[in-house]
Amino acid sequence: MSAHEPSRIGKMGRHWKSDGFINNFNDPSFSDVKIAFSDRQVYAHKPTLASRSSYFAAMFSDKFKEVKDAVVELEEDDPAGLDAMLNAMYTNEVPLGFDWVDKGQGPLLRKLILCADKYHLGWLRDECLRLITTYFPDLVYEKPGHQVFRLAQSLPEEILATQTDIFVKSLITGLLQHSRSRSFNDMLEDHPRLAQGLLQHLIWTGHEMDGARRRYCKACDVAFFSHSVAFMKCPMCRRDPRIGDLNQPIANYERWMLD
């Protein structure tokens, strides 16, 4: 199993991973607490939960009654997100892969991010946010990117702000094409700190292709940067005579937007 593949965990019992680690998620062996949510109870282990999360460490300290409770109820959170989070706490891996968009796992990724943030699993929250950014370069040439931008838009500002630098660096390369998407602009409207980060990057660092020409392919409707005026092949359709400079009429807002 690679580090980026989701863990295949059953409902009960120990499961060996390729590195020899025994996964005790939902294993009654040595379990000293049950986590109850959505009419389910999963076997857990206080030392494992406390070592992964300061939230659970505080919960199981002498200051809280849960230290003596055999069952901890977490009924306020989404059960799918909680299950994925608990799984990750035992495997130390994100239980989703880089193909989360293709598998329609956007809603689960959002729930996992919210649970990880609430229960103080910063590493898990941040890795999940980075999974979102891995799609940004591909969205330069893929119109259905609105689902990725809308997922980012739906997250609370304070969560997205924890990874502003990563988001900015992932967005900057395709910024010209991204700006054509209403969902991208809606995301920036709801997350002003991200918009500020993009602006600051452009002011302080500049675009990685400063001095390049903005180009527009009339054949496949893609905008891109080109270092050379003589470069006439579109990186998307590979056609050559139908590319022109990006001029003011093309950049008209209503005609410019894709989705």
pLDDT tens, 172-228? Answer: 878 878 887 888 999 999 999 999 998 888 777 765 555 556 677 777 777 776 655
Of 212 and 113, more confident: 113
What is the C-alpha radius of gyration for the chain, rounded to an integer number of angstroms? 23
Domain total of the chain: 2
Q: Tell me which of 68, 96, 131 is where a domain ends.
A: 131
Strand locations in 21-89 (E): 22-23, 33-37, 40-44, 71-73
- Mean pLDDT in residue range 225-243: 64
238 occurs within a structural domain: yes
Residue 200 sits at φ, ψ, to 5 deg, of: -65, -40
pLDDT greater than 90 at residue 14: no
Inside any domain, residue 223 = yes
Show the DSSP H helices in 78-208 as ranges. 79-91, 106-118, 122-133, 146-154, 157-160, 164-172, 175-178, 182-190, 192-204
CA separation for the pair 208, 212 (Å, rounded):
9
pLDDT of residue 143: 54
Q: In a 3-state reduction of DSSP, which class is residue 134?
A: coil
- Same structural domain for residues 184 and 143? yes
User: Which residues touch 51 (CB under 8 Å, ≥6 apart)?
Assistant: 57
Residues 101 and 45 in one domain: yes
Single out the residue in 131, 161, 176 at which a domain terminates: 131
**What's the pTM value of the predicted model, to 2 decimals?**
0.76
Q: Is 163 helix (H, G, I), strand (E, B) or coil?
A: helix
The pLDDT value recorded for residue 109 is: 96
**What is the residue range of 82's domain?**
15-131
Q: Are strands 71-73 and 33-37 parallel, antiparallel or unpaired?
A: parallel
Instruction: Kindly state whether residues 205 and 219 are assigned to the same domain.
Output: yes
Pairwise CA distance, residues 62 & 64, whole Å: 6
